Structure 1
Amino acid sequence: MNKRLAKAAATLASGLALLAAGPPAASDTTRVRDLLRQSQDLLRAGQNEAAQPLLQQARDLARRGHFAAGEVESLRVLGKAELVHGSFAEARAYLTQAVALARRTSGQPGLADVLLTLGQVANEQDDYPGALRACEEALRLYHARGAVRDEARTRNGLGIIYSSRGDFPRALAMLLPALRQTQQLGDSALQANCLTNLGNVYFRHNDARQALHYFEQALPLVRHRPDQGALADCLTNLAAAHQQLGEFKQAEPFYQQAIAVSEQAGERAQLGVVLSDYAQLLTDQRRLPAAQATLERARALLENSGDVGTLAATLVALGQLHSKLGHAAEAEAQARRALALATSVQDWSVQESSGALLAGLLKRRGDYRQALQYTELAQAAHDTVFSQSKAEEMGRLQGDFQLSQERERAQGLARTGEAQQQRLQAQQRQLWGLGLGLGVVAAAGLALWRLNRLLGRKNQQIEAQRAELTELNATKDRLFSIIGHDLRGPLHSLHAFVELLAGPPLPPDKLAQYTQRLTRTLDHTLALLENLLNWAALQMRAAGPPRPEPLDLAALVEENIGLLAAAAEAAQVSVVHHLAGDEHAWADPAAARLVLRNLLANAIKFTPAGGTVEVSARREGAAWQLAVADTGRGLPEPTPWQELRPESLPRRAGEGGQARSTGLGLLLSRDVLARNGGRLWVASAGPGQGTTFTLSLPVAASVATSEAVG
């Protein structure tokens, strides 16, 4: 009883405190708004550090005064400040707090503005789905409120997100309506921004003529604005469009104007970017000394700007220019620094160009070994860029496919509903006209029941087809990934080796070394192709059904050890088995050979010279457990005996410089065993402790029957 009274007293005291606090005082709300206005003025002037204390003060004052709208806006502007400063994680933390506070506050004050800013941060973090979710919800809120300007601003932001991902149709679908809305509003600043973004979309889509059309419309609107940075960007865009069209004489004046505007505004980083672009025009015109001086100046401006990606690209351009001028040492120095910077920010495009430049310089110097290494690095970066673009394209295509499926399904359901409604009305008219009473109603009910059953069957067929299509699409993506990453590399190494043979004669020791390396690469490629074809046939259901029969496991093991004897001898690995000869399983011989060959080949590949691979078998109930154990490097972490999931295992390089594993052999083995009623297991004591793979096969039917009779 006392506890209840104490709880009631505490609740009453809390309520009285809230009543005493009351609504926020007018002076507090006015002070919060003044602080926000002052901090936003400072942010527009580029004084982020001076704005931060004012924003924190506004947030604290709004929280103490229970001024939720002011606290939401304070958090939003704090997030915006961190976004401008490049601190994306901190920006997202502030904005996430603002979203949560706005959602639980009556009227959800400022929610749309916060969501729009959160979408910008998510886009900068390459969180494409998160950016779209936030901006699309903001667009719905603005549209429901009739806030046309904010709706146009949000459409413009969505257009930028779609454009940055290369989704040309959706970008236009957002930007063109936004442009019409800004024209109706007479908002010249937002209209200029929409025109610039439309021009950038067409420029990225390699339609420089159409891009030029929009940039030219934006220029007079930007000239009347105090934002010199926007003017410099617009002038640079015009110059780049003329340059892409080959109109160098028209491009150069725009570059010079952009340089003058950036110098006047004191924007060192922006000036460095403009100079780097202008140097490319000078290079295209073969004005190499002027291009070199321009790039050197751009490099000096970008050194402390924080824009590592642009600095790396500028260094590559400078290295390429030095290479053309015959300054090999300087070209190599710039290329190496560019490669280091690009690697630190994972700029694969610059890694590719800097790696290719270093490979050419080293090859010219006669250092073919390092040239080959940088050639492979450049090709790997190229493959990554290619894979990323294909992944984005496949994602867009899959989204379009799912969207069209949903649209078709909705239309089909609507048509079915209309048809059912029409049938029901016709049946009701017949009931009234014929006066058959309950009998006709029962017949109509039976007809509807049969119709529903028919629709149910159709829906099941559609779902089965959709599941099959999704599975085939995933299989195709996996094939493309393996071909793009694991097959292109060895073939490129072969091409590089042939190029080396076409050059100056190689010393005998280097020739022997490269030949041995090429042989390993070709062996790996042939094994990969064999597994790839088998796995593709299995996934596409081109392979026939399993044909199990009694199988002598000892004979199977001896056969596969004999096939891999040469590989084991070359790797200096001993392969032995401990089967007695009375082990008989019930399995498809071809499938069992394929799985055992893959397990033995992997064990030999990952076992160092002097190691051992042992094959053993034990009976457990109605199954034989055939184990392949090695004394190799083991798994990175201790792994207890468990069913194999190939996708969770790390991809490792083999011993003695052998090629990195693709993981396809284990994936193929697991799928083949699953089709034959078997399972695959793995265990490892940890690094350097070896690995044991165990395949489970049913005991032969004749053996099991004789044991049951006996």
Structure 2
Amino acid sequence: MKMIALLHLFILPYLYSVQDDGKIRQLHSELEQTNEQAVRADILSDISQAYRSSNPKEAIQYGNKAIEAAEKADDVKVLAKAINTTGAGFFMLGDFESAANKYYEALRLRESIGDSVGICLSYNNIGNIYISQHNYTKAEEYYNKALRLANHIKDKTSISRTLNNLGSSSLKQGAYEQALKYYKAALPLKEELEDKPGVIAALSNIGLIYSTAGNYQAALTYQLRALAIADEIQSLHDKTYVLRGLSEAYWVSKDYDKAVYYAKLSLEEAQKLNAKDHIRLSAELLNNIYTTIGDFKNAHAYLTLYSQYNDSVQTEKAMMQISSMQVKYDTELKEKENLQLKTNGNLQAKQLHQKTLIQYGIGTLLAISVLFSIIAYRGSKRLRQINKQLFIKNEQIMAFHHELSEKKKAIVEQSDQLQKQKEELVRLNEVKNKLFSIVAHDLRGPLVSLKSLLQLLSVGALPEDKLRQFAKTLESEQQNTLWLLDNLLIWARSQMEGLNTKANTMHIAALVQENIELLTPQAQRKDITITNKVAPNVAPITMADDEMIKMVLRNLISNAIKFCNAGDSITIETQSTDYFLTVIVQDTGIGIDAKSQEKIFGFRSLTTRGTALEKGSGLGLALCKDFIEQNGGRIWVESEPGVGSSFKFTLPSMGTAQRQMASKLDFLL
């Protein structure tokens, strides 16, 4: 099956962005309020960037205005930015020669002032020029130069941008394993920088690679995570290509009903945006899916839609090429006019000066010619000998330089490998220390209590009424200890080996009821009521690992019991959309302050005793976060001290059509 649409989709996800008119109006307002040339140049560059995707010709015009203002201000850094944004306009027009000239000019200026961040950006832009020419070797040469410099200055934005470009280059060449390595390295940096569009693109690219490798479950996990973020930031553009990625994954896995469902959703979102290229790609995908399943009537309908928008996109590309030629013509004409004006102004002075020079020159030339003839005759033989010696020395120097370069390259590779090994050893040592800390602090207490009770029993020093009291306390502590061991072993295995998610169709109501029955005795001891508001007959069907979700529910309900007083209540309920199911565990306990909420999901970053002085390990909520994210969802808390807490998490949910189909399948089975 074809992957052309996918490559076109995920490598250039921002090519067809919608013009931000509000931002442009704001920048024009700021421009009118200042006469300082450096500030004006910076604002004009930002306007050029805003027009880059929607109107490249306008972007070039504002870029040239920014260059003029920066030259008047004599500010090299601002001038380099203006030249770079002008080059980006040429790049979007498809005039790669003019774009390359601007990018190299900006690079030379940034090198002259030591602007390391700007140099990284220029290296990436030049690499993009080579990518457009399919010269991947030269492109990756510049990307790697950018990556080395970005790592040296520890600029995470430059590092993540370069890793993403390296991943795209590998993906275009079919090196999926290498591309996956780059995208997975870029993803946590983009998450840390809160670059949500960048996170969406990285997740979708990783999902694409897993689809190509046949690992459809992993592909769906990453695509669903991307969809959740696109839905969160309400980005129809991002949502359009993520939905198409989901459809591609289902199509390749031969789940044609879901493939059609998500492809139609992608087409609907693209039509809302009037994004012609996205409409074209979604229509092409639907045509391919219907052709595969033999539904030629629908295939023909979407092929017709694809053809209509394909002609429209081709027309726009032709207009962009015409605009590129017009810009080049206007630029050359302006240069010729300036040259003509300058020439006319200096012509008379040059003619007068030339007459004087000719008179002196004729006499001087005669004398020099005689002297030169004598010197040339004597020196020609010596010159040939020197040239020969220089050529031999130059060959020796070049060979020595090549040998040094190879040795330097080998040393750099060894250094990188040693650094990776060091980082892995440090990480494993941290895991070991964390394990020892939990064992020493949280497991030792219950065992010491058990030992003391056994010693009292052995000497007959414990009355029967006290024995029953201690037995109940010890039973509760041992149950908590067993759950702690479960959490601890699962967490340790995830850190050492990674977690394997086994998603399947499940009813959340059954898991909620099972955990309520398990934890009711613990709640009754504190006089706390638990209410299940998830109705079994209407609960949405969701795709997730039921063992992981069971562990999440147990930890959240157990935590709610821990921080409730006698007479408080706990309620479990759900909310559903076409894409996600939200599970809510709400209590009327003591609540959590805002400062503690910020670090509550970190590993052992927050451990407090319960209302009955119950101990905690600080591990359960960290596990919950890992499990929910592994299943394509997210988890958060809403709380107010003295009022109570609501822990909420989302899971991928089938739409109405899929639930009806699942019900029919259950009936047939």
Larger relative CO (CA 8 A, sep 6+): 1 or 2?
Answer: 2
Structure-1-length-normalised TM-score: 0.43
